[in-house]
Structure 1
Amino acid sequence: MRTGHTFTRHWDLETKQHELLGVDLGEGVARRGLVLALVLLAAWTLPLLLIFGLPGVYTVSLYLSPPIVLAIYGAQRSGRTERRRNMTQWALRVRYLTLGHRPIVCGGRRAASRDEWIPLRDRWGERADIITDLPGLAPLTILFGRDRARKRTAGPDLVLNARPRVYGPDRVWQARRRFGHVKPTQKGQA
């Protein structure tokens, strides 16, 4: 089996921010992480400011630490898929668990019906049972569905018992002559 290698990962140069509002940042901070931290900080802190007001001495860590920690871990490279960031992996996982994805049927020649999509309970797996067993979350069984049995949309599995056979050139020549793929030779021609 052949394996391929991607060499573009070695040329992935990360830009760094060495100065921010006149403050020297030394060796520099990765710009992608910095921008992500600023966006998350604004999205987290503004609602908290509107709801609870300015933070106190003890609550300032609740205002600042969650978006910064999320940005630090989210901007790192994913251990599962090297070319993606953790934040991308998390977003794709949340999207799959909530919306699923449209299956490709016949190489995309026809659109999949809604019955062919993977149901919500199957996407969540055992986590759906754990969540619905928690106290107060029993009404979520309506969302996940009560039965675990999935409606069958296709026939039973096919069992393939194919055996390859290798024929020599003499057998191939006989088969070609038998089915008329070879022109008869005329006398005097070789």
Structure 2
Amino acid sequence: MNKFKIFLILLVLFISINAVYSEGNFTELQTEINNSTGSIEITQDYVYVNESDYDLTDGILINKSTLFINGNGHTIDGAGQSRIFYMGNNSGQNITISNLKIINGYSHNSGGSISGLEYNLINVTFENNFAVYGGGALTDSFLNIANCTFINNTAEEGGAVSAAVVEMENCTFDRNYAPMGPH
């Protein structure tokens, strides 16, 4: 009887720990974005998982004219295999991402973590993202960036950011690398 009680206690403890430290995958976040009606409150970390997310290596598609993503301090991890977000043809200036940590994004083109036409970023940390060509963290036409941090991002040109027009306020850059152009 005592062994059974101990087993039950350990089982409940194991389930509780897994519930606290659970992560979602890119496919789950893509579904949340597709079903959203204007905003998303992220409630867990997400990581790229090759077995389930293999068709999202260009990033989680945001193809909405208006979307506000509040990361609530969570992390999205590309696992060195995928860009994090790709802004589709229908995305517009009303796309805002805030309070999020974006790490280990990868693109065989430009924009290791985010690529698109126009978007806003507030209080986002970009760390260890890589793009072969431009913008280890970000590439775009028009960017509005406030209170963001860029750490150890790499690309051939624009180690952290490569964009036509950038409005930037109170951002920090540390150890970003671009052998062919500005860091």
TM-score, reference length from structure 1:
0.24
**Greater strand share, 1 or 2?**
2
**Greater helix share, 1 or 2?**
1
Structure with more contact order per residue of length (Cα contacts < 8 Å, sep ≥ 6): 2
Greater Rg over alpha carbons, structure: 1
TM-score, reference length from structure 2:
0.24
